[in-house]
Structure 1
Amino acid sequence: MTHPRAVRASLASIALAVGAGLAGCSGEDAAEPSFAVSTAADGSTYNSADVAFATDMVQHHAQAVAMAVVADGRPLDPEVETLKNVIREAQVPEIETMSDWLVAWGEPVPETMMGHGAADHGAPLSEGMEGMDADMPGMMTADEMAGLENASDADFQDLWLELMLEHHRGAVSMAENEVTEGEDADAVALAEDVVTSQGAEIETMEALLG
């Protein structure tokens, strides 16, 4: 098991990694697009890879936020509590940003499990997963979410970390694809930030799991 001091150092590095990732982001670093390019009303250009990235990542991020909600009130180690809050605070604004892009591009904003209002009405979040694409990398199935919701306090933390670790690995894979194939500078920049910030969080979770 990794020493708690090492874990805290890893958590602290996440904030630095996010800043560094944003500072180094540039759509100019992306490869030449291999998809037909469209022009938005504001004059920015985007392609189908950008649309697919935003559409999928809205749902992917929403599930991560739902996992953070499920962890609220559970007995967690301080480092895990901090990580849970970092994930939620980072991904909620990104969901809003990507949803705005889709609207600007004339594309539908996907329904998410958080959008069903299950959390507000006390219903299990696993019941709000109908219609979501569970085939995306790292996405939990409804059964996996139900298993997390019903896990005992003794088992919850490790299960949460294991599922979130796999979820993050999937997000990084999706973001790397956007960096390679995307056209929109802001979308590519966000994808680069996902690779950096969630990569740091992956290291933290691996350390927490030992």
Structure 2
Amino acid sequence: MTPQDSTTEETAQPSGDMPDQRPAAMPSAYGLGRRLRIMGAVLAGGLAVVLALLLWLGVLVPAKQEAAGYSAADAAYAAVAIEHNAQAVQLAALAPGRSTDDAVLATAVEVGEASAGRIRELADWLEARDIPVPAAGTEALALAEGGLETELSDGGSGPRAGTNAHSHEGGSHGMLTDAQVDGIASLSGSEFDIALLAALVEHHYGGLQPADQEIEAGEDAEAKALAQSEADAIRIEVEDVREVLAAIGGPGSNDGSDS
């Protein structure tokens, strides 16, 4: 056998079915590089979104406010005042079906309609600046447009001017708690009349706080004017409600003193 023949025999592939024992192919440098580039692009995209959000919150929003002439405090006042007036509409809507006193019913309608009017003005101010209007305000307007002189089917718990208007701890600028509203709604006749009007007095007095703060520290002239108008209206409405409350034997009926 020649050396050439021996080499040929030694390197020849064995016959028969033998399992493929070749090692698995390792990822190519191209494939690994491609994956790394994709991961880098994803991370870079996420970082860009975060940076854009921070830029929007920290630079663009204040810049937009400055250009439009309003501050975060102005926007906060409008939102708080809408929530406050929404609950006033809600309280007013309790009267039909629970009260039989014409003066109480008329007062409830007046308070509810005035509060709805303030919500419309404040909502217009927010919308003109592309600021979302609180859902409570929108739903309170729908409640008022349904007619505050008509008894509503409310299951005994009172009509709701939206979840936001009736989901709070209460106590802040005269806002009533869920339990307080439910307690008023459970009454009827003279007990209801006294409880409703007394609650409206406390509620309205509470609304003076954010209005007076805006008048003193606000930047937007229109927002400050809305706050001044609201404060003036609240003071008049409180006196009207107190007169009716005294006339039906509520707090202050004997000597006209403050409740």
- Normalized against structure 2, the TM-score is what? 0.58
How far apart, CA to CA, are the structure 1 residues paired with 2:132 and 2:169? 15
Q: Name the structure 2 match of 1:3.
A: none
1:53 paired to 2:89: no
How far apart, CA to CA, are the structure 1 residues paired with 2:204 and 2:119? 15
Q: Name the structure 2 match of 1:170.
A: 206
Q: Which deviates more from structure 2 when the two are superposed, residues 53-62 or residues 65-74? A: 65-74
1:94 paired to 2:129: no
How far apart, CA to CA, are the structure 2 residues paired with 1:79 and 1:113? 26
How far apart, CA to CA, are the structure 1 residues paired with 2:172 and 2:138? 17
How far apart, CA to CA, are the structure 2 residues paired with 1:48 and 1:67? 29
Structure 1 residue 111 displacement after superposition: 2.3
SS across alignment from 2:130: coil
Structure 1 residue 204 displacement after superposition: 2.3
Q: Tell me if the contact between 2:127 and 2:133 (Cα under 8 Å) persists in the aligned partners.
A: yes
- Normalized against structure 1, the TM-score is what? 0.70
How far apart, CA to CA, are the structure 1 residues paired with 2:63 and 2:216? 17
How far apart, CA to CA, are the structure 1 residues paired with 2:138 and 2:74? 23
Q: Name the structure 1 match of 2:18.
A: none
SS across alignment from 2:110: helix
Displaced runs of 4 or more, over 6 A: 116-121
How far apart, CA to CA, are the structure 2 residues paired with 1:65 and 1:122? 15
Work out which structure has the larger RCO, using CA pairs closer than 8 Å and 6 or more positions apart in sequence: 1
User: Which structure has the greater CA radius of gyration?
Assistant: 2
How many pairs does the alignment contain? 174
How far apart, CA to CA, are the structure 1 residues paired with 2:139 and 2:76? 19
**Which residue of 133, 156, 177 maps to 2:192?**
156
Q: Deviations over 1:122-143 (max 9, x none)?
A: 3533694554463431000000
Q: Name the structure 2 match of 1:62.
A: 86
Structure 1 residue 55 displacement after superposition: 0.6
How well do the aligned residues superpose, as a CA RMSD in angstroms? 3.0
Q: Deviations over 1:92-147 (max 9, x none)?
A: 12212212322333333222187298997735336945544634310000000100
Q: Which runs of 5+ in 1 are unaligned?
A: 1-35
Change (3 A) 1:192 1:61: same
Q: Which runs of 5+ in 2 are unaligned?
A: 1-60, 147-151, 247-252, 254-259
Q: Tell me if the contact between 2:89 and 2:111 (Cα under 8 Å) persists in the aligned partners.
A: yes
Identity, in percent, stands at 29
Structure 1 residue 156 displacement after superposition: 0.5
Q: Deviations over 1:139-166 (max 9, x none)?
A: 0000001001101323001100110000
Q: Which deviates more from structure 2 when the two are superposed, residues 194-203 or residues 139-148? A: 194-203
Q: Deviations over 1:66-98 (max 9, x none)?
A: 111111233354333332222122221221221
